[in-house]
Amino acid sequence: MQVEFIHRPGNTAATLLLAAGESCTTESGAMIAMSGQLDIETTTHKRGKGGLLKAAKRLFGGESFFLNHFTARSGPGEVLLGTALAGDMMDYTLDGDALLVQAGSFVACEQGVEIDTTWQGFKNLLSGESLFWLKLSGRGKVVLSSFGAIYPIEVDGEHIVDTGHIVAFQETLEFSLTKAGKSWLHSMLGGEGLVCKFKGRGTVWCQSHNPGSFGMSLRPTLKPRK
Amino acid sequence: MKAEIRGSDAFSYVDLTLAPGDSVVAESDAMSSMSADLDLQARFNGGFFAGLLRKYLAGETLFVNVFKNNTKAPRSLTLVQPTPGGIRALELHNNTFYLQPGAYLASTEGLKLGVGFAGFVSWIAGEGLFRTVVKGSGTLWYGAYGALLDKEIDGEYIVDNSHLVAYEPGIKLRLQLAGGIFSSLFGGEGLVTRVSGKGRVVIQTRSLSGLTGWINPKLS
Amino acid sequence: MSFKVSVTGYAQADQVAARAAFATAFKITPEKAAELLTVLPRTIKVDLDQATAQRYCDALLKMGLTSAAEPMQAAAAPSPVPPAAPAPVAQASPAPVMPAAVVAPEAEQPGFKFTIEGAPDFAFLTVKLPANHTIKVEASAMATMDTHIRMKTKLGGGLGRFITGESIFINEFSAEKVPGEIGIAPGAPGDLGHVYLNGDVIYLQNGAFVACDPDVTIESKWQGFKKGFFSGESFFLIRASGTGDLWFNTYGGMIAKDVDGEYVVDTGNIVAFTEGLNYSVEKFGGYKSLFFSGEGFVCRFRGKGRVWIQTRTSGALLTWAQQFRKAKSAD
């Protein structure tokens, strides 16, 4: 499978090029368009793996219960994928390692990738991040999305990322909730509140913008609920 | 200090590298990521009273954050505005620049932020009675929803209220109807701002009210 | 007889390399090349003599692309997007030329002079109106203008727009006595498309209209109950016909696809399409996919023409925006 992106980082679309016989798994609702006569199958799990339990867990991970599988049976084909909100996309090739992915950021993966949901502890309750994260492992390409531009940070030691700005990180990193700077008071007064501190060695991918902040700036002029 | 604006017009953000001893002032909650050992101090936005004024009158926050590098090596900091859109850097050399409410993002310590009376025009236009006045010498970062465009004014020009971001001191604002009474009521344009004088105005190519105006009819 | 050259497929396994070679040869960005070659066959050059067309095919094969040179149909209907001005290419060399399909707003063509800035995410249209000329603009979309431009509000767009929540008013801006300029910003964040209509017809999704020449007729067209119902978008489309400029907008990035055969697009991602295309609304995959895939119904286009696609859908944004709405009582 080859992956190409267009319109980065504003309203990125991914084109997945499938050679004859290849297939891919995508988040439901992500398809924009497709060519040729691709086979489509909708299941609760990756073909031959997991089942209802994993699908239910994925719901907690902020993803949908169902996944779509596209297979290029009769010749090469392509699928165009987009996301719900404006934003960027990235791809990453897993080679036996694992990524932890923020809820809602999974877009697509190759066959050899395992999708699971992990519990990251109660700290997530406070952080405003989701309680469960997707864990992607195995071998193959994955495609992830964000709200805002994606920028990687190579952590070697400690680095702080504001809550709401994490897209994914390598499993080799550990994170904890803390304050920004030395003082809790200043972190609260300055509107930063709780932040995530990453420790160890590895990459964390951040999204430049926080969808919650954007939503709150729309709130004053958004039509109220009936 | 090194600063770079990345993410294109769609999602501009400011990547800063602070040398030892450097500091930068930023709007509340503007930090998206930073080196863990940068010091952060919240302070009133231009003093207690000025801070209050700016919060209630100019649509900014009561506190700003000062990020300071007290270590012995360069440290990184990423700043961003709450909405998608463009961010600009502007060097001021002992001059003044006016920002519409909400446009301020960050500045170096040499700049002073104040609140200025923008006239009743601005108030009726729904933009608030006051504007942020930036004075002094240093770098200012400001931004808005949409891409930012410059327009050199020499004479008069009409800008829809929700699209004005910033302007130079040589510019005056005046309010008027977009068309006749019928057009202004039904044409969706309503009041517009007539800018006059000589200088630069900065325009945003989208507005939050335009976005919600597009969303709202689709919401049940 | 003139010939056209179409890229029909890949001559090598490495599609990315072929696209890169194509991008280099035609002096376009790799992104643009990827976009152009997403749907095949893709016509890249028209109005060539047979020998030149063959040279193009040979050059394309070296890049790793298969292609075909076909005689063009006599009396072909004018393409809705005029091919880039017939470049005075030296006969002898298949010099790389911008593929005809690339949307080049600054291309020399009839109509108003205009610029598009802030594309592709927050595209902003500035139109230069000659003296005593008028432009029709979607309500609320004017962002800037010269002080002597006069605005009039007219009923327009038809009943369909009223039913679907668009404004039933369209504003007319006129440059009285001297030329003037107007800056136009649609509400939705996205890109702008432009076509110069020359007697042909384009269908727009209901919210996609931005501005047009007064000689372009904008009307609502009933899609038919089944298509409207299943497309989940709207029962109406905008039918634009006549002569002159037409601008439309997308929510999200824009991808223009030349369809020759069949192409499937999610109903929420369709922005516009040319009249030559037939479409049917059908379910996505099997019945299980219909209900659970999150795609629901898709549009299958058949025939020859162009469809403009947006990379985001308003439906997904609306779902996300729900959580930020205030309760009515708090207002």
- All domains of chain A in start order, with CATH: 2-216 (3.60.160.10)
Nearest to A168 by CA among A151, A148, A187: A151
Residues of B in contact with A10 (CB under 8 A): 8-11, 84
Mean pLDDT of C306-323: 89
Mean pLDDT of B174-191: 65
pLDDT band at C75 (very low <50, low <70, confident <90, very high): very low
Judge: B39–A182 Cβ closer than 8 Å, yes or no: yes
What is the chain A residue with the closest CA to C290?
Answer: A42
Tokens (6 digits) for C132: 């005593």
Of chain C, the percentage scoring pLDDT greater than 90 comes to 28
CA–CA distance, A195 with A187 (Å, rounded to integer): 9
Between helices B208-215 and A211-218, what is the axis angle to 10°?
80
Could you give the number of structural domains in chain B? Answer: 1
Q: Give the separation between CA A79 and CA A99, rounded to whole angstroms.
A: 24
| Higher per-residue confidence, A67 vs B177 | A67
Interface test with B, best of C116, C126, C140 (most B CBs within 10 A): C140
pLDDT number for residue C104? 42
Which residues on chain C are in Cβ contact (under 8 Å) with B206?
Answer: 122, 124, 185, 187, 189
Q: Is the pLDDT of residue C157 over 70?
A: no
User: Quick check: ipTM above 0.85?
Assistant: no
Q: Which residue of C has its CA nearest to B195?
A: C147
| Distance between A131 CA and the closest CA of chain B, angstroms | 20
Residue B52, in any domain of the structure? yes
Q: Is the pLDDT of residue A149 over 80?
A: yes
Partner-chain contact C189 B206, CB within 8 Å: yes
Using a CB-CB distance cutoff of 8 angstroms, which residues of chain C are in contact with residue B215? Answer: 314, 317-318, 321
Chain A neighbors of C331, CB-CB under 8 A: 224
Whichever domain contains B42, its CATH number is 3.60.160.10
Residues 6+ apart with CB under 8 A from B72: B20
**Pairwise CB contact (< 8 Å): C320 & A42:** no
Instruction: Specify the amino acid at residue C171.
Output: N
Judged by CB atoms closer than 8 Å, whether chains meet at A216 and B82 is answered as yes
Region C117-145: mean pLDDT is: 92
Look at residue C92 in the predicted model and tell me its pLDDT: 34
Interface contact flag, C285 A33, Cβ < 8 Å: no
Q: Do B163 and C185 touch (CB under 8 A)?
A: yes
pLDDT at C98: 35
**Quick check: is B17 in a domain?**
yes
Instruction: Report the pLDDT value the prediction gives residue C243, as an integer from 0 to 100.
Output: 93
Q: Give the model's pLDDT for residue A61.
A: 54
Q: How many CB pairs under 8 A join A and B?
A: 145
> C65 and C9 in contact (C-beta within 8 Å)?
yes
Mean pLDDT comparison of A93-97, A220-224, C301-305, highest-scoring range: A93-97
CA distances from C115 to A195, B154, C106 (A): 43, 21, 7
Q: What is the pLDDT of residue C298?
A: 81
In a domain, B220, yes or no: no
Per-domain boundaries in chain C: 1-102, 113-318
**What is the Cα gyration radius of chain B?**
18
Name the percent of chain C lying above pLDDT 70: 74
**pLDDT band with cut points at 50, 70 and 90 for residue C329:** low
pLDDT at C181: 93
Task: Tally Cβ neighbours within 10 Å of residue B206.
Answer: 30
- Chain B contact set for C118 (CB, 8 A): 9, 146-147, 149, 205
Question: Residue C106: its pLDDT value, please?
Answer: 45
User: Domain C113-318, CATH 3.30.1330.40 — does that match?
Assistant: no
Out of C19, C292, C311, closest to residue A42 by CB: C292
> What's the confidence (pLDDT) of residue A128?
55
- Fold annotation for C1-102: Ribosomal Protein L30; Chain: A, (3.30.1390)
Q: What are the tens digits of pLDDT across the range B57-66?
A: 556 667 788 9
Given a contact cutoff of 8 angstroms between Cβ atoms, the answer to whether B97 and B140 are in contact is yes
Chain C residues 156-215 with CB within 8 Å of chain B? 165-167, 169, 171, 183, 185-189, 207
Nearest to B203 among C143, C149, C152 (CB): C143
Give the model confidence (pLDDT) of B105-146 as tens digits: 999 999 988 877 666 555 555 555 567 889 999 999 999 999
pTM: 0.78
pLDDT in tens, C187-198: 899 999 999 999
Q: Is the pLDDT confidence value at C74 over 50?
A: no
Give the gap in angstroms from C-alpha B33 to the nearest C-alpha of chain C. Answer: 24
Query: Which residues are paired to A23 by β-bridges?
Result: A71
Kindly list the residues of chain B whose beta carbon comes within 8 Å of any beta carbon in chain A: 6-13, 15, 28-29, 31-42, 61, 63-65, 78, 80, 82-84, 145, 208-209, 211-213, 215-216, 219-220
Check residue C158 and report its DSSP letter: -
Is pLDDT at C290 greater than 60 in this prediction?
Answer: no
Q: Which of A86, B82, B188 is nearest to C251 (CA)?
A: A86
For residue C290, give Cα distances in angstroms to A43, C229, C285, C287. 12, 15, 6, 5
Determine which of A47-56, B76-85, C98-107, C149-158 has the lowest per-residue pLDDT on average: C98-107
Residues 290-309 of C with CB under 8 A from A: 292-295, 309
Choice among A164-168, A188-192, B212-216, C16-20 with the minimum mean pLDDT: A188-192
Query: Which chains have at least 3 CB atom pairs separated by less than 8 Å from chain B?
Result: A, C
Most confident region among A18-32, A37-51, B173-187 by mean pLDDT? A18-32
DSSP characters for C193-204? EEEEEES--EEE
> Chain B within 8 Å of A208 (Cβ-Cβ)?
yes
Q: Which residues of C touch A83 (CB under 8 A)?
A: 312, 316
Average pLDDT over residues C302-322: 89
**pLDDT, tens digit, 9 for 90 and up, residues C221-268:** 766 655 655 455 566 788 899 999 999 999 999 999 888 888 888 888
Count of CB contacts below 8 A, B vs C? 122
Chain A residues whose CB is inside 8 A of the C317 CB are 84-85
Residues in chain B within 8 Å Cβ distance of C124: 146-147, 149, 205-206
- Interchain pair C324, A215: CB under 8 A: yes
| Owning domain of residue B195 | 2-215
Supply the mean pLDDT for chain A: 83
Give, as one character, the DSSP assignment of residue C40.
S
Nearest-CA distance from B81 to chain A in Å? 8
What average pLDDT score do residues A22-32 get?
Answer: 87
Contact at CB, C189 and B146, closer than 8 angstroms: yes
Cross-sheet strand order for the sheet of C65-71: C42-48, C3-10, C65-71
Is the Cβ of A126 closer than 8 Å to some Cβ of chain B? Answer: no
